[in-house]
Amino acid sequence: MKECNIENLFNLKETIAYKIFKEATYPWEVLPKIKEFIIELGNSLDKDEYYLKGENIWIAKTAKIAETSYIQGPAIIGKNSEVRHCAFIRGNVIIGENSVVGNSTELKNAILFNKVQVPHYNYVGDSILGYKAHMGAGSITSNVKSDKKIIVVKNETEKIETGLKKFGAMIGDEAEIGCGSVLNPGTIIRKKFKYISTIICKKYNSTKLHI
């Protein structure tokens, strides 16, 4: 399924985390590696541009962080990004440059490329959001199947067993997710599938490939 390859979903020039993808074919392969990667990358960041807050939390000096937000490491928050009121960052998270993490948004084990917007009541878990990806208010990534089985990505003719029980969504560059959408575990979305609605997401089962 070449349409699921990293290069067909993401522009790696638009993330500080580009190195984590170099030995992978499919983007979900990096999900188990995010924690260790953040710690290694964080320790190499320029101290003139980033400061260390607490344990393994690196924040760009140009980022805006609301006092009411909660950040658990390891995490990296990129330049000129904004983390708003009551955002909940649960660890293993990279937030790209010029991104917005909005009020009451929860992130866990996720990579957000540059200029991503998750601005209102979003949940992003075990997921990767590409350059300029946007999630409308209340949209979430469901990351565990109800039967707790391994998540399989498939299209009309092929399928790939990911080996993962926790896998939310791979949202490609510039993709738009409509307000109130629930993305089932293992969802893959590219730009051409642009305005995803709740109806579309519910139409497909939890392992369907949306491209």
Total count of domains within the chain: 1
CATH number of the domain where residue 109 is located? 2.160.10.10
Catalytically annotated residue among 85, 120, 134, 210: 120
- Kindly state whether residue 208 falls inside one of the protein's structural domains: no
In a domain, 210, yes or no: no
Return the pLDDT at 192. Answer: 57
**Rg (the chain; Cα; Å):** 16
pLDDT value for 75: 98
Does residue 140 lie in a domain region?
A: yes
**Has residue 41 been placed in a domain?**
yes
75: its two tokens:
């995490």
Task: Give the helix/strand (H/E) hosting 132.
Answer: none
116: in domain? yes
Q: Residue 143's closest CA among 151, 135, 134, 133?
A: 151
Q: Is the pLDDT of residue 196 over 90?
A: no
User: Does 154 have pLDDT greater than 80?
Assistant: yes
* Full residue range of the structural domain in which residue 124 is found: 2-203
209, part of any domain: no
pLDDT for 156: 81
Task: Indicate if the pLDDT at residue 209 is higher than 80.
Answer: no
Percent of the chain with pLDDT over 70: 91
Assigned domain for 211 exists: no
Whether 44 has a pLDDT exceeding 80, the answer reads yes
Would you say 82 and 98 are in contact if contact means Cβ atoms under 8 Å apart?
no
> What pLDDT score does 177 carry?
96
The yes-or-no verdict on residue 160 having pLDDT over 50 is yes
What predicted TM-score, i.e. pTM, was given to this entire model?
0.90
pLDDT in tens, 109-127: 999 999 999 999 999 999 9
> pLDDT at residue 39 above 70?
yes
Is there a catalytic annotation at residue 134?
Answer: no
Beta bridge partners of 120: 103
Tell me the mean pLDDT in the region 197-208. 39
